[in-house]
Amino acid sequence: MTKARDIMTGGAQCICAQESVLNAARKMKDLGAGALPICGTDNRLKGVLTDRDIVVKALGAGRDPATCQAGELAQSEAVTIGADDDAEEILRTMTAHKVRRLPVVDGHDLVGMVAQADVARSLPDPKVGVLIEALSSD
């Protein structure tokens, strides 16, 4: 059975909650990533910052990305998936929470990210279609 660790992109890097949104954008550019997990000073996952969050919640709201902290844009609670959770659980979690990316944790350690594209490459077309439809609807 396919597990999250089988399809995830490993080596996910966090942005600290106290770092600026500008630093987060630069890190995304350097990594070629559209999202970064946000970690607190306790090294625990606080949320996920996406490129869309930067544009809408910071730039679009007239906030200065050099002074706005990444943690200020975090959602209320991080939605994660366990490294040994199966593909069905990934689909259920993404669909239920309407998220396109899930941080993968092993215990309390961040070990990777599963994106919608990872799921599309790894699972049969009908299941991927259901996920894409769920994420695209309001």
CA atoms within 13 A on the CB side of 54: 22
Please state, in angstroms and rounded to a whole number, the distance separating the CA atoms of residues 73 and 12.
19
**Answer CATH for 4-136 from 1.10.760.10, 3.10.580.10, 3.40.50.300, 3.10.330.10:** 3.10.580.10
Can you read off the two tokens belonging to residue 138? 């309001």
pLDDT digits (tens, 9 = 90+) for 3-32: 999 999 888 889 999 999 999 999 999 998
Neighbour-count burial of 13, counting CB atoms closer than 10 A to its CB (0-12 exposed, 13-18 middle, 19+ buried): middle
Q: Residue 119: its pLDDT value, please?
A: 81
With beta carbons less than 8 A apart as the criterion, state whether 111 and 135 touch.
Answer: no
Q: Where are the domains of the chain?
A: 4-136
pLDDT digits (tens, 9 = 90+) for 86-125: 888 998 898 898 888 899 999 888 899 998 888 877 766 5
pLDDT digits (tens, 9 = 90+) for 80-90: 999 999 888 99
Q: Collapse the DSSP code of 102 into the 3-class scheme (helix H, G, I; strand E, B; otherwise coil) and give the result.
A: strand
pTM over 0.95? The answer is: no
Count CB-CB contacts under 10 A for residue 127.
16
